[in-house]
Amino acid sequence: MTNQLYSPEVIAAIPLPNTTESTQQASDSTSDNNVPQAEKIPYSVKFPVKAVAVELLSTVLNTKSKKILGNFTFGVIGAISIGNYVNGVSGDIRISPDGIVGRNINGTTTFSIDGTTGDAVFAGTIQAGAVVSGQVTVTGAFVVNDGTYNIIWLGYLEGGF
C-alpha cells in the first residue's frame, strides 16, 4: 500500500463589489501607517429602499377607524375575546371551538351557543322572519280541549279556567 499525499484545493480570490482587483491599486489606497483604506463609493450608487407592507394596512385594515375593510381567512387558534369585561363598565364576547358566550356589563350571560351540542340560550327576545323547528318544548302552558281540538294555552287569562 502506498501513501498518497493530499494537497488543499486553492480557491481563487473573488473581489468585493466596488473594490479594486490589482495589488498596485490596493497598495495605492493605504495611508501613511500602512492601514488599508476603503474605496469611496460613488454618489450614483443608491442604497436599497426597505420594503414596507403598506398594502395590507391601507386597503384591508384601517387603523385609524379600527375597522376591517377586506376579507381575512383565520387560522386555527385557541379563542378570540372581543372587548374587556369590567363589572359595571363593559361586557365582552368570547368565541372558541367550544362555543360563543356574551356577557353584559353586570356579568350576566346574555347569550351562549354550545359548539359541541348546538344548544343555544338567549336572555332577551328572539325575532325571526320564520322559524323551522323539529321539536318545541313549552313549559308553563296548559292544554285545553275545546271538544274537538287540543289547544295549547300560553300565559294567564283573567277570569279564564
Question: Which pLDDT does position 123 carry in this prediction?
Answer: 93
Question: Which pLDDT does position 91 carry in this prediction?
Answer: 94
Burial level of 100, CB count in 10 A (0-12/13-18/19+)? middle
Question: Which pLDDT does position 26 carry in this prediction?
Answer: 46
* CB contact set of 100 (below 8 Å; sequence gap of 6+): 93, 94, 111, 112, 113, 115
User: 132 by DSSP, 3-state: which?
Assistant: coil
In the predicted model, residues of the chain with pLDDT beneath 70 are 1, 17-36, 41-43, 45, 52-58, 140, 155-157, 160-161
Burial 8-33 (b: 16+ CB within 10 A, else e): eeeeeeeeeeeeeeeeeeeeeeeeee
Closest alpha carbon to 82 in 98, 94, 68: 94
Question: Which pLDDT does position 1 carry in this prediction?
Answer: 63
Q: What share of the chain is helix, strand, coil (3-state, %, to 5)?
A: 5, 25, 70
